[in-house]
Amino acid sequence: MIDPSTGPSVEPPPGPRVALVTGATSGIGRACALRLAADGFTVVVGGRDASRAAAVVAEIEAAGGTASTALGDVALPGYGDGAVASTLAVHGRLDVLVNAAGVITRSDAEGTTDEEWHRVMSTNVDGLFRTSRAALPALRASGGGAIVNISSTNGLVGVPGLAAYCASKGAVTNLTRAMALDHAHEGIRVNAVCPGAVDTHMLYSERGTSIEEVRSMNIGGIPEGRIPGGDEIAHMVSFLADDRSRHVNGANISVDGGYTAA
């Protein structure tokens, strides 16, 4: 029986804590994998590209960490189950899931095709949901743990020309709250980090304008006046993955230089 005052009574298995990071071959996901490894986690690098995943593993190992891969497309129905099973087979436990895989399409509702809508939803929502569902029994067996979703400020406020992306991140925001309520009594915390503009490939993709123009346009809307790198988002993710944030649950935390404060 779980004592609400102390959390779950299940004793975690011995050994270093293990974190599975989806979308870990680039952008925010890669930064999260490197940060968690530096903070002492064994990291499972999730992604579609084997060579890029191997490069992240090599970087972690070169710095003295431990890592493996869970290759595949998070948008496909079997990925979550397979990634969790692979993690358990290789490392024997799972303590943290970071759902960082994501895609974007830039259009209003009228201009968004069915194919574009499905691509965004199947990765940003369906993949996140299925991987989280697959992780729950493993987290429970570890005596509790954390799920950290990479959402977006676009899941908190609307933005013109991002209909599908805003819808997908809005779903992530509220799924985070719902899962936190469902699993808090098991010592499983579910939170989301909501970045604003971040200096990654996604910020500049599908724009049709120069990097300099994109940066200028985004900086104009950020009170702090700068665009952060993925490592700054990763620091918040690592905090939420760790026992330091034990009383943080069901939160959607903006990391946006003050953008949503306006």
Q: What is the DSSP letter of 166?
A: H
For 191-216, the DSSP string reads EEEEE-S-SSHHHHTT--S-HHHHHH
Place of tokens 């890669």: 30
Which CA distances in Å does 135 have to 82, 104, 123, 156, 199? 10, 25, 17, 26, 29
Place of tokens 């999260």: 32
Does the CA dihedral 196-197-198-204 come out positive or negative?
A: positive
Q: What is the DSSP letter of 32?
A: H
Question: Which member of 79, 165, 204, 259 is catalytic?
Answer: 165
Contact 125, 171 (CB under 8 A): yes
Q: What is the helix (H) or strand (E) element at residue 50, kind and residue range?
A: helix 50-62
Write out the E strands in 1-123: 18-22, 42-47, 67-71, 96-99
- Catalytic residue check, 204: no
**Residues with catalytic annotation?**
165
